[in-house]
Structure 1
Amino acid sequence: MLRIVVLGAAAGGGVPQWNCGCRVCNASRTARPELQSSQASIAISADREHWFLINASPDLRQQLTATRQLHPRAGSLRHSPIAGVVLTNGEVDAVAGLLSMREGSPFAIYAHPRVLSILKANSIFNVLSEKNVQRQPISIGEVFEPVLPNGGPSGIEILPFEVAGKRAWYLEGKTHPAGDDGEGDTLGLRISDKATGRHFYFLAACAQVTPELKQRLGGASLIFFDGTVWRDNELIAAGLGAKTGQAMGHISMSGENGAIAALTDLGIERKIFLHINNSNPALLHDSPERRAAEGAGWEIPTDGMEIAL
């Protein structure tokens, strides 16, 4: 049985964001501490002993401390149940946490060559010695099985696929280390339990729901889907930023072309938003936006939520 733990559900900066005084951040610091959330990542396991992270958020150290399933084995001086990290993009939100895993425990990084090229081009990631931390390229449309530290099978199969998005924001206007042509900057994942055949989808970033994506997700048991903003111009209207959701490579929850409308009536059993920005009013339990999302069958997760598939 596949186990999934939501390590964090928030977008970049988390909730509260360190320098933000918006109503969600202020409420989370005072009367509504339950609104607090770390930056988006999940952990998966087929045996409850070895775990793989999907993205390594800047909050990873905090997440590992808070998640008992990821603690070192009792009685061991040095041990980690984390066998690998799968990266879906090269954004700071997805890769910065790798630097919190530099203490010598062996694990593997699985990522598209375009994302691996970003790690290679930035010498700070050399603290992850490739003697202990193998970097394994993955390809769009090709299933792979991440392996355990002893080389054995994990029981998990992952199919990476391309979704609409954009390159990491810090590379805007610059030459990509892998060149400016090619796909692979933003991936979705289909994650399957080999023993049961059950699978789910993970899309932390998505700029558009295409007909091909609808067909792929139709009938899914579970999806984690990009929930960054409620409205495309949300950050601008709130005075919190100068970019739309689309400009950042994220679809809105609401609207005619938003995720809620686009993914309705597809027979998806369970739909969970992830990577939710502090500006998003759907985070507030008593907001009309939250009621609209839940009324359409969507969940807003909390850190530490565990799901058995």
Structure 2
Amino acid sequence: MLRIVVLGAAAGGGVPQWNCGCPVCRAARSDPRIQRTQASVAVSADAKHWFLINASPDLRQQLTATPQLHPKAGSLRHSPVAGVILTNSEIDAVAGLLSMREGSPFTIYAHRRVLAILKANSIFNVLSETNVRRQPIAIDEVFQPTLPDGSPSGVEVLPFAVAGKGAWYLEGKAHPAGNDGTGDTLGLRIADKASGNFFYFLAACAAVTDDLKRRISGAPLVFFDGTVWRDDELIAAGLGNKTGQAMGHISMSGHNGAIAALAGLGIGRKMFLHINNSNPALLPDSAERKALEQAGWQIPADGMEIVL
């Protein structure tokens, strides 16, 4: 049995964003239904040991709000978090690692390109490799994350490359791992080895290719990049000067958007996450929310648990 807890569904900055007065953020300050922390999920095959998919800047808040991730009763020091699997090196995905520096053992699983970025930034040395092992993962090679004592977790993960970009803070700078960009943005197929139940996690994706459609066709559950409703959303709202594509994200709507591109694939449950504060689909009564729900999509609330 596979258990998934949505820790957060928002993009960078969360909702409401601390310095934003856009319509969504204004509404979110008085309506808890709209509020979201930054995107991450936790997954477990035994309901005792959990693996985080990305470590958002809101991780401490998310751990506190999630009973499944609390220390075991009667233990002075304990965490059920056995590992963190990184799908990219954006701040949204890695900053929360710094909130896990208090000595509990866990493993970071990431592509060598992402691990190279962590190694090049000395601030991540607060995660002593005595307790926090860094394990490289490879594209299209299944791995099974292990428990702190080295035993199998019962979870199997298949990383695969998706269209995207490297971390924005490296734009115009040399990448610590060199010029080959393959591996900067990953999707994951996560399965319970015992039951065979599985789901897909894609927090960042710039395009839906034929290969991606083949991979996720018929999946029981897909978490997919929902950063913007329309590609020029931030520009139109006066909140930025980049399109969704320029940031490495596909839009929800439009002829080439995620809703249209992933229609008719027989996916059981389709959930958007990494949703930007500019996205009107976050508003429960908006036309955009109604349109995505009519197309069979959901926007999960923080704390939602799903069992496969």
Amino acid at match of 2:85: V
Q: What is the one-letter code of the residue matched to 2:245?
A: Q
CA contact (8 A) 2:112 2:137 kept: yes
Is structure 2 residue 25 aligned with structure 1 residue 25?
Answer: yes
Shift of 1:287: 0.5
Match of 2:12 in 1: 12
Alignment of 1:147-166 (within 5 A): 147-166=146-165
Task: Show the counterpart of 1:206.
Answer: 205
Question: Is contact 1:7-1:43 (8 Å) kept?
Answer: yes
| C-alpha distance in structure 1 between counterparts of 2:278 and 2:63, whole Å | 26
Where 2:113 maps in the other structure, the secondary structure is helix
CA distance in 2, matches of 1:42, 1:101: 16
Instruction: Give percent identity, aligned residues only.
Output: 79
Match of 1:283 in 2: 282
Question: What is the rounded CA distance, in whole Å, between the counterparts of 2:197 and 2:175 in structure 1?
Answer: 36
Q: 2: distance between equivalents of 1:8 and 1:267?
A: 26
Asked if the contact 2:166/2:181 (under 8 Å) is kept, the reply is: no
Partner of 1:195: 194
Whole-angstrom CA distance in 2 between matches of 1:26 and 1:289: 18
Instruction: Answer yes or no: is 1:65 the counterpart of 2:56.
Output: no
Question: AA paired with 1:211?
Answer: D
CA drift of 1:93 comes to 0.2
Give, in angstroms, the shift of residue 6 of structure 1: 0.2
TM-aligned CA deviation for residue 57 of structure 1: 0.1
Are 2:100 and 1:101 equivalent residues in the alignment? yes
How far the C-alpha of 1:180 sits from its partner, in A, is 1.4
* Alignment partners' CA distance in 2, 1:307 and 1:220: 14
What code does the residue aligned with 2:83 have? G
- The 1-side partners of 2:179 and 2:57 are apart by 26
Q: Report SS of the residue matched to 1:159.
A: strand
Deviations 1:135-193 (A, max 9, x none): 00000000000000010000000000000000000000111000112400000000000
Read off the aligned partner of 1:199 and give its amino acid letter.
F
Amino acid aligned to 1:133: V
Distance 1:253 1:162 in 2: 20
1:24 offset after TM fit, Å? 0.7
1:254 and 2:253 are equivalent in the alignment: yes
**Equivalence for 2:117:** 118
- 2:129 aligned residue: 130
Q: Distance in 2 between matches of 1:295 and 1:227?
A: 16
Q: Say whether the 8 Å CA contact 2:38–2:57 is kept in structure 1.
A: yes
Segments of 5+ residues of structure 2 without an aligned counterpart are none
Say whether the 8 Å CA contact 2:82–2:148 is kept in structure 1.
yes
Alpha-carbon offset, residue 207 of structure 1: 0.1
* 2:235–2:241 Cα contact (<8 Å) kept: yes
CA contact (8 A) 1:4 1:44 kept: yes
Q: Write the deviation string for residues 203-245 of structure 1: whole angstroms up to 9, x where unpaired.
A: 0000000011011110000000000000000000000000000
How far apart are residue 296 of structure 1 and its match? Answer: 0.1
Contact 1:27 1:33 in 2 (8 A): no
- Secondary structure at the aligned position of 2:271 is classed as strand
Letter of the aligned partner of 1:191 in structure 2? Answer: I
Secondary structure at the counterpart of residue 33 of structure 2: helix
1:33 positional shift: 2.2
Q: CA deviation at 1:261?
A: 0.1
Query: Secondary structure of 1:140's match?
Result: coil
CA distance in 2, matches of 1:33, 1:198: 32
Alignment pair present for 1:46 and 2:45:
yes
**Which amino acid in the other structure matches residue 4 of structure 2?**
I
Instruction: Tell me, yes or no, if the aligned pair for 2:11 and 2:92 is still in contact at 8 Å.
Output: yes
What RMSD over aligned residues (CA atoms) do the two structures have, in Å? 0.5
* Structure 1 Cα separation of the partners of residues 195 and 53 of structure 2: 21
